[in-house]
Amino acid sequence: MEKIIGLLDLDYFYAQCEIIRNPSLRGKPVVIVMPSLRENSGAIATCNYEARALKIRSGMPLGLAKKLASSETVFINADKPFYEEQSRKVFEVLDFFCEKIEQVSIDEAYFDLTNPSGYEKAKELCKKIKDRIRSQLSLTCSIGVGPNKLISKMASSIKKPDGLFVVMPLELSDFLSKQKVTSLFGVGPKTEEIFKKNGVVFVSDIKKFARVDLINWFGEAIGGRLYDFAFGKDEREIEPNREKQQLSRMMTIKQDSRDYDYIVTNLDFLSELLYKQIVELKKMFKTVSLVIVTERMDTVTKSKTSTQAISSLVELKEMGHDLLRVYLNESLSNVRRVGVRVSNFDEGAGFQKKLFDYK
């Protein structure tokens, strides 16, 4: 099965968070400042596209940014706790769809899209992720998809903002030939300067040289890696580093239905699979969610939270049953897909499997 990797990058994240919090900022140049201890000093953390049109950039001194600003430009001191909370919610959405996630910053993460159906299925999943983040959090993100980390990272910037760009293995050579060498992972100002001295501007220019040339320029480790990158080779694996904030199981039932007994049989099966995972991770939880996809492909989520941590399969099933009854009482649509999710983990509580939980 060929490896498929995605890179999710939240668009101008800090500025976007501030615009969501204060919609009157929409359409104005918004600049997020990391202030320093000195008065009227600091650096630009990020800015939206309206501010970038004024040539304001991340890392720029505040004084210079103010000289470039228009009368409508809004400067806001960074509110890291707020951005971290929004980031947590975004990656909880990603947790719901993907098992292997490597978060590399507050607004970026690699995730595994490898599946038997290949790139079409991967692209479909990315669209669902983008739609869920937008509908739940009003945030846009750009996603790049490719056969490795290098390509997915490069692809994520092609259609910003709110983009989705896929590079398949057969498209690698053509894709890389159009990219500047500065788009390669690990190429900073000093590396770029050495490349320019040797006539290398585009990634394809590297192919005019031998591996030993790049090793002479940059050393064995960096030179060898950059030479491989020029041919689209990147063996770095996704290194999962996120504690799951939620666990879920979902399936398509054999026929669309509104029959409670038929649906609950499938729901119980999913609950049993999910519970085994909960036991392995020694988790206790307070919230159970029922996820329904209707025959019209609408997604409906019903949740119930207990005041005390839950540790038994019986309680998990009973809460799922209650939520299914609520759904069937409120909706006339047939169920096409059904899922069960647990969240709101109680990290301080111990876990003890009960004698009859697997019977």
Residues with catalytic annotation?
A: 108
Sequence-distant (6+) residues with CB within 8 A of 351 are: 279, 282, 283, 284, 311
**128-to-75, 133, 135 alpha-carbon distances in Å:** 33, 9, 10
Q: How far apart are CA 153 and CA 341, in angstroms?
A: 30
Q: What angle do CA 41, 43, 48 make, to 5 degrees?
A: 125
Q: What angle do CA 104, 130, 273 make, to 5 degrees?
A: 80
Sign, CA torsion 332/333/338/340: negative
DSSP string, 55-111: T--TT-BHHHHHHH--TT-EEEE--HHHHHHHHHHHHHHHHHH-S-EEEEETTEEEE
Neighbour count for residue 304 (Cβ, 10 Å): 15
Q: How far apart are CA 145 and CA 73, in angstroms?
A: 34
Q: How far apart are CA 42 and CA 60, in angstroms?
A: 9
